[in-house]
Structure 1
Amino acid sequence: MPQLNGVAKRRNRTLLDMVRSMMSFTELPPSFWRYALETAAKLLNIAPSKLVPQTPYEIWFIGYPKEIAGFYFYDPVEKKIFISRNAVLLEKSFPSYSRRDEFLIGESSEEPQHDSTTSFEPTVHTDGVPILRSQLENLEYLRDPPKGARSVGCKWVYKCNLGANGEVTAFKARIVVKGYTQRSRVDFEETYSSVAMAKSIRLLLAIAAWYDYEIWQMDVKTTFLNGFVEEEIFMDQPEGFTSVGEEQKVCRLQRSIYGLKQAFRSWNTRFDEVIRGYDFIKNDYDPYIYKKISRSWVAYLVLYVGDILLIGNDVKMLGDIKAWLSTQFYKKDMGEASYILGIKIYRYRSRRMLGLTQFSYIEKVLKRFKMEHSKRGLLPIRHWIKLSKKQSPRTDEELKRMSNIPYALAVGSILYAVQYTRPDVAYALSVTSRYQACAGEAHWGAVKSILKYLKRTKDMFLIYDGGELILEGYSDASF
């Protein structure tokens, strides 16, 4: 059973991630998923491994197959699949279909049956290969490593992007450098994350609700690839793109790439130079908030890694900013902001109301800690619950049991919700977060109580009702 075999479980997940990516890219109907699975398994078997000098295919090779060698072809007119040895491979274009069914391959998915009654119109999909190769264009192929230089490894990472309701919106595949092997003061100088503070984002959303500003959203594609690398960094050749006869050579990075320690800094340096060139002023308190004023028009720009929020009072001004950003970066225009950073945004503009909810994020957190089927809690913490260090593990058995519990991860996951939409659990979280270094069963039970409460109240909203911008404080009457 894969559930009892960690290696098999991870390999099955890798196979299914590859299948989803290929099926999404080619836009083939679900009936072709078996061929995608065979292709994924074949690619993994012929891919080189650092564990052994040979590929899995070479190690397991016991003879040549007696079947016909060739390629699978699908005839959309006859609706038949046939094998042929004669083929011309089009590297820059890919035949796909203009219509596809929405599907998701999971662990319990049944094998789809071939539907011979559905017709598909073939089209030409030409943007897939160039987009994939855009990551490789940031590498300088190829050169011998300088004497004494050390190269860092890399790997392919496959990811599914989820929407506001938990549905799959995109499949991504990218090269990621194994940045944990980089050496401080040798391969990089400093590193930090280019993320706006949660309270800054909430404040700007409150201002937008009160003044009825526009709130637009953009997503910068291949974010880190826009930054330039100041240091001399060498990377091993990516899996599947190794040059025959030049396996010992390495790539010199021309730009930053995902996984590099300095990728955030390189991207932020580039973005800061570009955005200031358009007369934006950086905020002194939060360096990832920018403001632009032109006569009576004002625009705010919020940067959270590759996600951008544009807030302002003039549609034309915001449109000009978006058009200008399109000339500087490859981005996706998301239109009016409705879902960003795991937060769903609802607006009732006639009453100047704005609501924020993290329904999908909370559901994901509950699944992560296997609490989606738990009872629903009435309160985040009971008044008689008293936590202290005396409840920390004392015996080796207790320490071993608590070492397998992701206490700090759970606290951090709840903290993200507290920062944006759930201040009602702030006190309970502040109490439980004190014991991350010495958490015991009682502390973990208190954290689970917060999760049970979030399960019951996951539909709650944080509402900005368009009232006066005056800070009001409340306290328990019996305090």
Structure 2
Amino acid sequence: YVMVEGEELHLGAIDEPCTFAEAEEDASWRRAMDEEMASIIDNKTWCLVDLPAGSRPIGLKWVYKLKRDANGDVYKYKARLVAKGYVQRQGVDFEEVFAPVARLESVRLLLALAAQEGWPVHHMDVKSAFFNGELKEEVYVVQPPGFAVAGHEHKVLRLDKALYGLRQAPRAWYSKLDSCLLSLGFSRSESEHAIYGRGTGTARLLVGVYVDDLVITGNDKLEITHFKEEMKKLFHKSDLGLLSFYLGIEVKQEVDGITLSQAAYTMKILEKSGMVGCNPCHVPMEPRFKLSKVSTAPATDATEYRSVVGSLRYLVHTRPDLTYSVGYVSRFMEAPTTEHWAAVKQILRYVAGTQHLGCRYTRRDKRAVLCGYSDSDMAGDVDTRKNTTGVMFFLGPNLISWQSMKHKVVALSSCEAEYIAATTAACQGIWLACLLGELQKKEAQQFTLKMDSKSAISLCKNPVFHDRSKHIDTRYHFITECVEDGRVEVEFIGTNGQLADILTKALGRVKFQELSRNWCR
């Protein structure tokens, strides 16, 4: 973790209109709607027609959003014309809707690799991205509020390209972008379909796609500039320069590394929960702290509880230290009580005192290798007696993936619990190794998995031990096959060096801070 220096945050309180009638009275919002309509018309998104017999048009509405920067200041008024896609019928108005986006683990791996190699990371945004998606289905919509064609108010619009809100819009846009990138010589990653690569050696270029946001990096600045020019010929794009703000995550690029943090988002959580100015604490959860679903404490507002915990879950993307505690309080979403809310408030107090912490990716080792840690507690859940697994992976000194999850089965011994955790880690590690190999244009390399259970390591290496473990589900024996094939090398590490310990239980202040520092070594 590293402290991100910055000025005090001031989040504005400008209202966003809820209806067209409210928005048209404001010149800024009216200008935003005119820009949206101009973009739609230039893109030849629709044509004015009479509604065919038996067809039903889909309604449209305006959605208004203030775009803010990392400091919370408004830099753009955004008006979006959205189709009421919830009335669409599958098989009539649309078929398939799935569209891949880059997992944040993939984005972190991409940034860690860029920091490792000293590459700059650039950011591009496609303006009105979904308008570029070409529709295969015949879809009709009503004319937009406030922009009906005079004398033809009874007519409807037949869509040739997608609108925001349509169920198939994300898939149509991804198909369009995918075909364009492939035509430019990129190859799509088999492990992550939203990551693309082109070139080799000193001309290697990597692109990560999250809907309309493109993260671009490579070791040749001229190649990055050339790619931007190619994309501008295909789409209306905004060149945002070096990546500084992405999906609510603040990115700071320096000579010696890249820092990720969510300070502005953290402040929003504290404001929403009424915890601004609270007394901070040193750990998110007290040692040996336990909660149960069966509680005699008074019930609390379930909607507020779910909202705050859900917000904290997104904060975990740059805060591994919150992973266990936030995951633990997430188990009580159904019927939270004041006891559960008190645990959430302690997490918020810890967050208030560590608002500027974030992940730091450094350039310390040119030959960084993938290394993982897996750990498990024993019967930690009070209600079900199931175990909690902690898994984390490093690329050299940089932490790129972490997860804390409750097992789906009850383990009969600590050996079995660690063995199941190792299988979970092996699955994650193999995927990361394959993705890393594709990014580097190399074969997937063997990675090391460190565990603090010698009996579980023996079980991974020696099939004869399965005679004592016949009750273990066959899927958990996958780790043994990985070890035999040479894809995974398991190593013993003492409990004091087990970094994943922080993902399986609440720790004391000294141990908690010691492990946190190790992640930034």
TM-score by length of 2: 0.64
The residue that corresponds to 1:146 in the other structure is 52
Change (3 A) 1:461 1:407: same
| Residue 131 (structure 1) shift | 5.3
Q: Distance in 1 between matches of 2:102 and 2:22?
A: 35
**Number of the residue aligned with 2:321:** 424
1:380: which partner in 2?
Answer: 284
Q: 2:294 aligns with which of 390, 393, 399?
A: 390
State which of 213, 232, 246 in structure 2 corresponds to 1:340.
246
SS at match of 2:157: strand
Summarize the Cα distance change of 1:207–1:224 in structure 2 as closer, same or farther, 3 Å threshold.
Answer: same
Task: Check the 8 A contact 2:141/2:159 in 1, yes or no.
Answer: yes
Aligned to 1:172: 78
The within-5 A match list for 1:179-194 is: 179-194=85-100
Q: Percent identity?
A: 33
TM-superposition CA deviations, 1:50-83 (whole Å, max 9, x none): xxxxxxxxxxxxxxxxxxxxxxxxxxxxxxxxxx
The more displaced of 454-463 and 385-394 is 385-394
Q: Deviation at 1:249?
A: 2.3
CA distance in 1, matches of 2:112, 2:296: 42
- Residue 154 to residue 410, structure 1, CA distance change in 2 (3 Å): same
Residue aligned with 1:450, SS? helix
Q: 1:303 aligns with which of 176, 190, 209?
A: 209
Distance 1:406 1:151, change over 3 A: farther
Residue identity matched to 1:424: D
State the alpha-carbon separation in 1 of the partners of residues 270 and 22 from structure 2: 23
Encode CA deviations 1:343-362: one digit per residue, 9 max, x unaligned.
1222231xx22211111111
1:370 matched to which residue of 2? Answer: 274
What is the CA distance between 1:254 and its match in structure 2? 1.2
Cα deviations across residues 383-411 of structure 1 (Å, max 9, x unaligned)?
A: 253222103889xxx4xx634x2333333
Task: Return the offset for 1:457.
Answer: 0.9
Once the two structures are overlaid, the 10-residue window that deviates more, 297-306 or 368-377, is 368-377
Deviation for aligned residue 1:415: 1.7
Q: Structure 1 residues 422 and 15, CA, compared in 2 at 3 Å: closer, same or farther?
A: farther
Partner residue of 2:167?
Answer: 261
Asked if the contact 1:236–1:250 (Cα under 8 Å) also holds between the matched residues in 2, the reply is yes
Asked whether 1:407 is paired with 2:413, we answer no
1:290 aligns with 2:209: no
Q: Which moved more, 1:270-279 or 1:374-383?
A: 374-383
Give the corresponding residue for 2:345. 448
Change (3 A) 1:211 1:12: closer
Deviations 1:320-368 (A, max 9, x none): 111100101100111111222111222231xx22211111111122233
The change in CA–CA distance for 1:436 and 1:174 in structure 2 (over 3 A counts) is same
Please tell me the residue identity of whatever aligns with 1:382.
Answer: E
The residue aligned with 2:233 is 327
Check whether the contact 1:392–1:439 (CA below 8 A) recurs between aligned residues: no
Q: Name the amino acid aligned to 1:222.
A: S
CA distance in 1, matches of 2:212, 2:296: 41
Quick check: 1:462 aligned with 2:364? no
Give the 3-state SS of the residue equivalent to 2:179 in structure 1.
helix
Cα displacement string for residues 388-438 of structure 1 (whole angstroms, at most 9, x for unaligned residues): 2103889xxx4xx634x233333332222212x101000001111222233
Contact 1:393 1:438 (8 Å CA) reproduced: no
Q: What residue identity is the alignment partner of 1:256? A: A
Any idea what SS the aligned residue of 1:276 has? helix
Q: CA–CA distance in 1 between the matches of 2:103 and 2:331?
A: 22
* Distance in 2 of aligned mates of 1:21 and 1:385: 54
Question: Using the alignment, how far apart are the partners of 1:166 and 1:10 within structure 2?
Answer: 15
With over 3 angstroms needed to count, the CA separation of the structure-2 counterparts of 1:156 and 1:11, relative to structure 1, is closer
Question: When the two structures are aligned, how many residues end up with a matched partner?
Answer: 361
Query: 1:312: which partner in 2?
Result: 218
Using the TM superposition, give the Cα deviation of residue 187 of structure 1 relative to its aligned residue in structure 2, in angstroms: 1.6
CA drift of 1:269 comes to 0.3
> What letter corresponds to residue 433 of structure 1 in structure 2?
S
| Secondary structure of 1:426's aligned partner | helix
Which residue identity does 1:407 align to in structure 2? Y
Contact 1:17 1:159 in 2 (8 A): no
- Whether the 8 Å CA contact 1:155–1:238 is kept in 2: the answer is yes
**1:134 counterpart letter in structure 2:** S
Aligned-pair CA distance for 1:190: 2.1
- Could you say what secondary structure the match of 1:347 adopts? strand
Query: What SS is found at the alignment partner of 2:184?
Result: coil
Other structure's SS at 2:301 match: helix
TM-score normalised by the chain length of structure 1: 0.69
For residues 428 and 177 of structure 1, the distance between their equivalents in structure 2, rounded to whole angstroms, comes to 39
CA–CA distance in structure 2, aligned partners of residues 130 and 425 of structure 1: 42
Aligned match of 2:257 in 353, 368, 371? 353
Question: 1:62-77 to 2 correspondence within 5 Å?
Answer: none
Hey, what's the Cα distance between the residues in 2 that align with 1:222 and 1:162?
A: 18
Contact 2:67 2:76 in 1 (8 A): yes
2:38 pairs, out of 133, 138, 144, with 133
Structure 2: gaps of 5 or more residues: 1-14, 374-498, 512-521
Distance 1:432 1:264, change over 3 A: same
Q: 1:426 to 1:331 in 2, by over 3 A?
A: same
Tell me which residue corresponds to 2:28: 22
What is the rounded CA distance, in whole Å, between the counterparts of 2:191 and 2:71 in structure 1?
34
| SS of equivalent residue, structure 2 residue 55 | coil
Equivalent of 1:276, from 159, 182, 192? 182
Q: From the superposition, tell whether residues 465 and 318 of structure 1 become closer, same or farther in structure 2 (CA, over 3 Å).
A: same
The whole-number CA distance in structure 1 between the counterparts of 2:243 and 2:312 is 24
SS in 1 for 2:79: strand
CA distance in 1, matches of 2:88, 2:362: 49
Contact 1:224 1:258 (8 Å CA) reproduced: yes
Assess, with a 3 A threshold, how the Cα gap between structure 1 residues 24 and 369 changes in structure 2: closer, same or farther.
farther
